[in-house]
Structure 1
Amino acid sequence: MAPRLTIWISGSASKLEAAMDYEFILVEKEDGVAFLTLNRPEKLNAMNRQLNRELQDAVKAMNADDDVGCIVLTGSGERAFSAGGDIHEQRERDREGDQGTREQQDQNRSRGTYDISSSLKPVIGMINGLAYGGAAVLSSSLDIRIGCGRSSFRFLAAAYGRINSTWTLPNQVGWPIAKELLFTGRVVEAEEAYRIGLLNHLVPADQMRAKTMEIGTAIANNRRESVMGIKELLLQHMGCNLEQQWANERDFTTNRVRGYNAEQAFPEFIARKGI
């Protein structure tokens, strides 16, 4: 089990005002930049319900923290930003047999991604490894992404009998490429991700932190009201606002195409793991 909470305080950062008891999120603040690290390295930082709740809470706390001007999301270890949703937990949830509960939990998780995407303060993804499934959705909802040679993405919903990323990915890479990646579910390696705009910067792995801090502190040192105002206006100026795009996707997947359960979506994984 991961440690309950680790908080590093460095540079000009100040102590968090409220005590935070996180099991799967590490929090670090430095020079106006808050790093939130997904911390389940033994599970490739797979996002279970607890991690999702903690991440949403941590982002909300950083938005309320006057010492923070920019938020960074990253993952523990060198292999993965996150492998996506926790399939073991999804299967257990399916075994409980409550379809309504499963759909409500799916919606809550999706809503959490929307809330992070619409964070008042800019959110940078430091994509230190693979970002598959739900982690690709999360990554594509962030404002800026910085990667290294280990970074890769895979939008797997169609392969799993589900639908997502229709409200995130086109805004990052444009319709033609978004369609290809969503229809095929293929792997997008680092060089291609940088070329198509899924990564803003591609740097050697040992330079990721420095590059992230360079951009993060530049944001944090600007007037907060201006930065947040720019982000709000950019979201408003899209042809259809972000929440409406999210709501359209939720309506479609709730009322027209219901997602597969874990047994249907991940048969090869389940057979391989013997669960």
Structure 2
Amino acid sequence: MTWVIFILAPPRRMLHRTMADYLLTETVDGVAILTLNRPNQLNALNRQLSAELHAAVTTAAADPAIGCIVLTGAGQKAFSAGGDIHEQREDDKKYTQADLDALGAERARGFYEIGACAKPTIGMINGLAYGGAGVLSSSLDMRVGCEHASFRFLAAAYGRINTTWTLPNQIGWPIAKELLFSGREVKAEEAYRIGLLNHLVPCAELRDKTLWLATMIAKNRRESVMGVKALLLQGLGRDLEQQWKNERNYTTSVARPAKAEDAFPDFIARKGRKD
């Protein structure tokens, strides 16, 4: 008699990767992982990357196979350094104020829609998150960071206004006021202590810890998790969109943002990284 033995391999985790020009997209066990991929520019958020990120979050939010969305940055230095100052400077030179207002509105709306995404979002904070990246990271539902994580909410230092609709909802009014008024750096330990980071782990464990949380969320019933998020946002007292609109209206009618040339003279003098 001849015996035939079949060896069954263990089930494989579902893994799918795609890449746009500036954004890496990966799917693992019902979790969409979106990686800002401009490491040589500290993942600065130019228009193209911002548009790709917004589109990817929108796609993941509509995908029934996705239960949680994770955002992170490529490299070991930065989640993101914020807006692309070189691009902003060129925009100031070639566009009218009306055009700049339209571009700013599109960018701001994209950030709002990421923050208001119906599915849970987690920031995997692998490095600095400054300026516009402070807005982005604080608009997410949760953040997991490592010892390289740091935050700066720099708008007031540059003649601009942002993050008023995100940060107070995460860490409370008194601390949010301090950080928004001063623009000082918040390092990893303090970020964890004040609730800006939900978890703080060694950098070598950052991805595993983040996916531990994200997959746990993704395994739950989508409608229940999304319902909890919707109700929590409604429970803010004034809905998130109205808070965002208040900031947007103020910055377009009362206190217009400073031009890049005036806002970032030191950076421009240093000739910071370009593509």
The TM-score range, normalised by the shorter chain, is over 0.9
Verify: 1:146 aligned to 2:167, yes or no: no
Rounded Cα–Cα distance in structure 2 between residues aligned with 1:97 and 1:229? 42
Verify: 1:272 aligned to 2:274, yes or no: no
**Who is 2:89 aligned against?**
91
Q: 2:244 aligns with which of 228, 243, 246?
A: 246
CA RMSD of aligned residues (A): 1.4
Q: CA deviation at 1:222?
A: 0.2
SS of 1:150's equivalent in the other structure is: coil
Is the alpha carbon distance of 1:38 and 1:236 closer, same or farther for their aligned partners in structure 2, counting shifts above 3 Å?
same
Rounded Cα–Cα distance in structure 2 between residues aligned with 1:218 and 1:188? 28
Rounded Cα–Cα distance in structure 2 between residues aligned with 1:269 and 1:37? 25
After superposition, residues 122-141 of structure 1 pair within 5 angstroms as: 122-141=120-139
Verify: 1:62 aligned to 2:64, yes or no: no
Which AA in structure 2 matches 1:11?
A: R
Rounded Cα–Cα distance in structure 2 between residues aligned with 1:21 and 1:12? 17
Q: CA deviation at 1:12?
A: 2.8
Verify: 1:11 aligned to 2:13, yes or no: yes
SS of 1:34's equivalent in the other structure is: strand
Using the size of structure 2 for normalisation, the TM-score is 0.93
**Who is 1:6 aligned against?**
none
Query: Runs of 5+ in structure 2 lacking a partner?
Result: 1-11
Query: Runs of 5+ in structure 1 lacking a partner?
Result: 1-9
Rounded Cα–Cα distance in structure 2 between residues aligned with 1:195 and 1:269? 31
Report the count of equivalent residues.
262
CA deviation profile, 1:111-162 (whole Å, cap 9, x unmatched): 1111001111100000000000000010000001000000000000000100
Rounded Cα–Cα distance in structure 1 between residues aligned with 2:257 and 2:67? 37
Q: CA deviation at 1:107?
A: 1.6
Paired-residue identity, %: 64
**Who is 2:185 aligned against?**
187
**Who is 2:7 aligned against?**
none
After superposition, residues 199-218 of structure 1 pair within 5 angstroms as: 199-218=197-216
- Higher mean alpha-carbon deviation, 124-133 vs 265-274, is at 265-274
Which AA in structure 1 matches 2:30?
A: G
Q: CA deviation at 1:258?
A: 0.5
Which AA in structure 2 matches 1:230?
A: V
Rounded Cα–Cα distance in structure 1 between residues aligned with 2:184 and 2:19? 37
Which AA in structure 2 matches 1:56?
A: H
Rounded Cα–Cα distance in structure 2 between residues aligned with 1:187 and 1:252? 25
**Who is 1:4 aligned against?**
none
Using the size of structure 1 for normalisation, the TM-score is 0.93
CA deviation profile, 1:151-176 (whole Å, cap 9, x unmatched): 00000000010000000000011000
Which AA in structure 2 matches 1:212?
A: T
Asked if structure 1 preserves the Cα contact closer than 8 Å seen for 2:19 and 2:25, the reply is no
CA deviation profile, 1:195-225 (whole Å, cap 9, x unmatched): 0000000000010111111100110000000
Rounded Cα–Cα distance in structure 2 between residues aligned with 1:215 and 1:221? 10
**Who is 1:229 aligned against?**
227
SS of 2:60's equivalent in the other structure is: helix
Which AA in structure 2 matches 1:41?
A: P
SS of 1:28's equivalent in the other structure is: strand
Q: CA deviation at 1:97?
A: 4.0
Verify: 1:256 aligned to 2:220, yes or no: no
Rounded Cα–Cα distance in structure 1 between residues aligned with 2:95 and 2:198? 42
SS of 1:258's equivalent in the other structure is: coil
Q: 2:160 aligns with which of 153, 159, 162?
A: 162
Q: CA deviation at 1:21?
A: 6.6
Rounded Cα–Cα distance in structure 2 between residues aligned with 1:54 and 1:183? 31
After superposition, residues 3-82 of structure 1 pair within 5 angstroms as: 11-13=13-15, 22-82=20-80
Rounded Cα–Cα distance in structure 1 between residues aligned with 2:220 and 2:180? 36
Which AA in structure 2 matches 1:151?
A: A
Q: 1:176 aligns with which of 174, 177, 192?
A: 174
